[in-house]
Amino acid sequence: YACKEKIIVIGAGVSGLAAAKKLHDEGCDVTVLEGRDRLGGRIFTSQVGDLTIDMGASWIHGIGKGADGLKEWENKYNPLYQVTLDNKITTLATWQDEGDTESLYFWYKGGETTYDVGTVFKNFENSLEDLQEEADINTSLKDLYSKYDLTKKTSKGDAKVDQNIKDYTLAYFYGFEYAADADQLSGKYIDNDSYFFGPEHIFPDGYIQIPKALAKNLNVILNQKVTKIDYSKDSVNVITENGKVYEADRVVVTVPLAILKSNMITFTPQLPKSKQDSIEKMGAGLMDKLYLEFEDVFWDEEADWLDYISDGNVKWGITLNYYKYTKKPVLLMFNIGKDAREFAEMSDEDVIKQAMETLRTMYPKATDYVAYKRSNWSHDEFARQAYSFVKIGATKKDPLNIASDIDKKIYFAGEHTNFNFLGSAHGAYISGTDAASKIIEDYNSNFEQSLVSNFMYLRFAF
């Protein structure tokens, strides 16, 4: 049945826009309320000189068909890739297949290149399932690997070096994927999520093209910071900081997990206790980016990643060679978890000083940078995090529990509600279309019920 309802979607990130587009296509009267003065949320394209850079998401993870272990995606593209095809948006392959064809360049102190850390990581991964069997929900990733004897798996057999490699692997390989430290990540549920097959792509002209394509023909109102959602009556009232009241039949809440954890939005009545518990238990991770532009390239041009393994004191373990894909002399450096939280409180000058020190350890001839751009997601009022993870103590049911609707009036979407693709832009997209499908289903069953009761009424009336 064509949807006749008024729906409000809170948040114009990829999940909110995907939900709104689907509901709009079904005929619903949809309004998107966005707190910022721009679309995209944690997709945020910026400019340094003539260089287009993404401060939030950069990659479509997997542009092939199908997702690991999920039948429903058989022969279907990653939905974000489908959006690029439908809208003729150009993307660019970084490396061909997840994991094995990236060229990783490693340093271990004093510029010395180390042996194959990639293989060490693979060995780690292969033993994960066995280790997980004995883990419970309070076992962290760090606990899980504390029993893993790495020295037998490496060629050097140097215990100190091996310990540093192990720490590095946990901090950067897993840390990068889940935006959290190994002592916070659930050992039980790590790597239980899915991924789309195929190459990884970036957007030479910015990821923002995806939100823009989704927002076409939608009614999106910017600068509407929602502070109250009252669902105590038949319809729902959504109230903004500037005092506007929007009325709707149903509402989709897509604000980030860290916003749900904060008291920015008051729900009347309060959210059910079990939902509050799940919000509390899940982790809102942090990962920040630093783009540095140079006059010329002084690093290995053919590398994808320049990785620095430290004895725990260096905070810039991974750097992407942006030159390889854009031919611009740019490096993209990352920090994660507690390091990112520490940097978030520091000045640009101090942060860049530390980054340059790491670069000069790898490349003593490194020149000074000419321009930079740095993200600070924990200080961003409408994000307060990068992406979400299953924290120690949480289970895979918690994202599901956050996603569940309340009284068929308040629905939830966002990367944090999608266990299979937690933390990703495609996970956010899928959570949005899932919430929209649920609304259409609930609308239709409501509609059928009212047809039946009208029919009964007419029968008895005659």
Ligand X SMILES: Cc1cc2nc3c(=O)[nH]c(=O)nc-3n(C[C@H](O)[C@H](O)[C@H](O)COP(=O)(O)OP(=O)(O)OC[C@H]3O[C@@H](n4cnc5c(N)ncnc54)[C@H](O)[C@@H]3O)c2cc1C
Q: Which is nearer to ligand X, 145 or 256 (CB)?
A: 256
Binding residue (CB under 6 A) for ligand X from 95, 115, 176, 382: 382
Closest distance to ligand X from the beta carbon of 135 (Å): 26
- β partners of residue 46: 53
Q: Which is nearer to ligand X, 303 or 435 (CB)?
A: 435
Closest distance to ligand X from the beta carbon of 415 (Å): 3
Binding residue (CB under 6 A) for ligand X from 28, 30, 165, 287: 287
Q: Which is nearer to ligand X, 21 or 426 (CB)?
A: 426
Please tell me whether residue 22 binds ligand X under the rule CB under 6 A. Answer: no
Closest distance to ligand X from the beta carbon of 19 (Å): 9
Q: Which is nearer to ligand X, 61 or 188 (CB)?
A: 61
In sequence order, which residues have a C-beta less than 8 Å from that of residue 143 and are 6 or more positions away?
135, 183, 187
| Cβ atoms 355, 362 nearer than 8 A | no
In sequence order, which residues have a C-beta less than 8 Å from that of residue 169 and are 6 or more positions away?
117, 120, 121, 124
DSSP 170: I
Give the residue at shortest CB distance from ligand X. 13
Q: How many residues bind ligand X (CB under 6 A)?
A: 43
Q: Residue 274 to residues 397, 398, 400: CA-CA distances in angstroms?
A: 11, 9, 11
Torsion of CA 128, 129, 135, 138, to 10 degrees: 60
Query: Using CB under 6 A, which residues numbered 208 to 267 contact ligand X?
Result: 224-226, 254-256, 259, 264-265
Closest distance to ligand X from the beta carbon of 256 (Å): 4
| Cα radius of gyration (the chain) | 24
Please give the Cα distance from 14 to 208 (Å, whole number).
Answer: 10
Closest distance to ligand X from the beta carbon of 80 (Å): 7
Q: Which is nearer to ligand X, 43 or 366 (CB)?
A: 43
Which residue type is seen at 235?
S
Please tell me whether residue 197 binds ligand X under the rule CB under 6 A. Answer: no
Distance of CA 422 to the CA centre of its chain: 7
Q: Which is nearer to ligand X, 44 or 107 (CB)?
A: 44
Q: Is 226 part of any known ligand binding site?
A: yes
As separate numbers, helices (DSSP H) first and strands (DSSP E) second, the chain gives: 14, 22
Please give the Cα distance from 201 to 194 (Å, whole number).
Answer: 18
Going by the annotation, the residues of the binding site for substrate are 334
What is the contact surface with ligand X in residues (CB under 6 A)? 10-16, 33-36, 41-43, 56-59, 61, 224-226, 254-256, 259, 264-265, 287, 289, 375, 377, 382-383, 386-387, 414-415, 423-426, 428
Going by the annotation, the residues of the binding site for FAD are 15, 226
